[in-house]
C-alpha cells in the first residue's frame, strides 16, 4: 500500500497550495468561458462597414438604408463619394471594409439586370469578407424583389499576398509564442526566491532596477532569436510581408518586452516556482480575445474593450496591418501603446522589487 501513502501525501501537497489548485480548476473554466464568448457564444458585435456610393441615386440611398437596418452590420459615416478615398483609408487601416456601389446602379435595377457590387476588405483578414457577402446578397435579393440579381465580388489584396490564411494567423501565433516569456520569466524569479538566492542578493548594494535589468537582459537575445524564427518559419509557410519588415520586427520586439515585464511582476508576487504557473490562467484567454486565432470583428463588445486596453491586441492588429502593406503612420498609435505598456510594466516591476527588498 505504499503507493496509497505516496498518493495521499501528494494530494495533501496539492490542497495545501491554493494557487496551484486554483490554476488546475480555474483553467478549464477560463478556457470554456473565453473560447465560447470569442467564438460567438455571447452577443456578437456588428461588423463595421463603409459605403462608397458613386451612383448618388434614390435607389442607392434606399439600399444603404436597408443595409443600415441589419443588426449584423454597422454602417460607418460619412458615405464615400469616390472609391479612391475609401481605398486609401482601407490601406491605412482607418476602415476595414467597404461596399462599392457603382454608377448605373439605379438603371441596372430598374432594368432588372444583374448588379455588380464590390466588397473590399483588408486582405490580412480572410474571414470578414466571407461573413458579410451572404448578408449583402440576401438584402439585395429582398430589396430588388428577385433572386439572385446581385453579384458581390470580394476584393482584397490577394494579388500581393500568397496565402491569406498564413498572413492572418502568423502574427497571432507569433505574439502568443512571445507571451510564453511571461511564465518563463516568472518561474525564474520565483525559483530564485524559493531557493533563497534573492534573499542573499538583497544583502548586496544592488538597487531594484539592477535586479530588473539583470533578469530582463538575458531574455533579449531569446526575444530577438524567437522573433526571427517566427518570421522565418512564417515566410517558409507562405507568409507575405507587403509592408516594412523592420516595422513588423519592432512590433514583435515591443510586445516581447511587455511579456518580460509582466513576467517580472508575476515572479515578484508569487512565492514559489510552482505558483508561477498561474500566469497561464490569463495568457491563453488574453491571446484568444486579442485576436490571435479569431477575428475580433464579431466578438462581444465587452471582450473587445478589454482586449483593446491590453497591449497584445495592438501588437496583433499592427503586425497584420503592416504585413498587409500599411504604412508606419497607420500603426503609430499602436506603437505608442506598446511603448507605454512596456515602460509602465517595468516601472511596476521596479516598485515591487523595492517593496520586496524592504520587507
Q: What pLDDT, in 10s, does the model give residues 103-137?
A: 888 887 777 777 777 777 765 555 666 667 777 77
- Looking at residue 3, what is its pLDDT? 45
C-alpha distance from residue 172 to each of 38, 166, 167 (Å): 14, 10, 9
CB 301 within 8 A of CB 45: yes
- Residue 321 has a pLDDT of 83
What CA–CA distance (Å, rounded) separates 98 from 105? 16
| Contact criterion met (CB below 8 Å) for 190 and 270 | yes
Contact 278, 19 (CB under 8 A): yes
Tens of pLDDT along 250-300?
A: 999 999 999 988 988 888 887 777 777 777 777 878 888 888 877 776 677
CA distance 271 to 261: 18
Strands (E), 76-233: 97-101, 115-121, 150-155
Q: Decide: 126 and 164 in contact? Cβ < 8 Å.
A: yes
Question: Quick one: fold of 47-155?
Answer: abc type-2 transporter like fold (3.40.1710)
Q: Domain coordinates of the chain in residue numbers?
A: 47-155, 164-358
| pTM for this predicted structure | 0.66
Q: How does pLDDT run across 35-48, given as a tens digit for each residue?
A: 555 555 445 567 77
The confidence score (pLDDT) of residue 191 equals: 77
Q: What tens digit of pLDDT does each residue of 177-204 get?
A: 888 888 888 888 777 777 765 656 656 6
pLDDT at 231: 87
CB 293 within 8 A of CB 307: no
Q: Which span out of 281-285, 337-341, 343-347 was modeled with the highest average pLDDT?
A: 337-341
* CA atoms of 241 and 324, how far apart (whole Å): 7
Give residue-wise pLDDT tens across range 129-173: 666 777 777 777 666 665 545 556 556 544 466 667 777 888 888
pLDDT, one tens digit per residue, over 203-258 is 666 676 666 777 777 788 888 888 888 888 888 888 888 888 899 999 999 999 99
Amino acid at each position: 500500500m505504499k503507493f496509497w501513502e505516496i498518493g495521499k501525501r501528494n494530494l495533501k501537497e496539492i490542497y495545501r497550495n491554493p494557487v496551484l489548485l486554483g490554476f488546475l480548476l480555474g483553467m478549464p473554466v477560463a478556457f470554456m468561458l473565453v473560447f465560447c464568448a470569442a467564438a460567438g457564444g455571447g452577443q456578437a458585435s456588428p461588423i463595421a462597414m463603409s459605403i462608397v456610393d458613386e451612383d448618388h441615386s434614390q435607389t442607392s440611398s434606399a439600399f444603404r438604408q436597408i443595409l443600415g437596418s441589419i443588426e449584423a452590420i454597422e454602417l460607418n459615416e460619412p458615405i464615400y463619394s469616390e472609391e479612391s478615398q475609401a481605398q486609401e483609408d482601407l490601406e491605412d487601416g482607418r476602415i476595414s471594409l467597404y461596399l462599392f456601389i457603382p454608377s448605373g446602379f439605379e438603371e441596372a435595377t430598374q432594368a432588372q439586370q444583374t448588379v455588380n457590387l464590390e466588397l473590399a476588405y483588408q486582405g490580412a483578414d480572410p474571414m470578414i469578407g466571407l461573413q458579410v457577402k451572404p448578408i449583402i446578397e440576401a438584402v439585395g435579393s429582398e430589396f430588388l424583389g428577385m433572386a439572385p440579381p446581385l453579384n458581390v465580388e470580394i476584393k482584397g489584396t490577394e494579388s500581393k499576398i500568397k496565402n491569406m490564411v498564413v498572413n492572418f494567423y502568423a502574427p497571432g501565433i507569433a505574439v502568443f509564442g512571445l507571451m510564453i516569456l511571461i511564465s518563463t520569466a516568472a518561474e525564474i524569479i520565483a525559483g530564485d526566491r524559493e531557493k533563497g538566492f534573492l534573499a542573499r542578493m538583497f544583502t548586496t548594494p544592488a538597487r531594484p532596477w539592477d535586479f530588473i535589468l539583470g533578469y530582463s537582459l538575458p531574455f533579449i537575445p531569446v526575444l530577438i532569436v524567437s522573433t526571427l524564427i517566427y518570421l522565418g518559419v512564417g515566410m517558409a509557410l507562405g507568409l507575405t510581408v507587403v509592408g516594412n519588415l523592420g516595422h513588423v520586427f519592432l512590433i514583435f520586439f515591443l510586445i516581447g518586452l511587455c511579456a518580460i515585464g509582466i513576467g517580472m511582476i508575476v515572479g515578484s508576487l508569487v512565492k514559489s516556482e510552482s505558483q508561477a504557473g498561474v500566469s497561464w490562467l490569463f495568457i491563453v484567454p488574453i491571446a484568444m480575445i486579442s485576436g490571435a486565432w479569431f477575428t475580433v470583428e464579431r466578438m462581444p463588445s465587452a471582450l473587445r474593450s478589454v482586449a483593446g486596453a491590453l497591449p497584445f491586441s495592438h501588437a496583433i492588429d499592427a503586425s497584420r496591418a503592416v504585413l498587409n502593406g500599411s504604412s508606419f503612420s497607420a500603426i503609430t498609435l499602436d506603437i505608442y501603446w506598446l511603448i507605454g505598456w512596456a515602460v509602465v510594466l517595468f516601472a511596476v516591476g521596479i516598485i515591487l522589487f523595492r517593496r520586496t527588498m524592504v520587507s
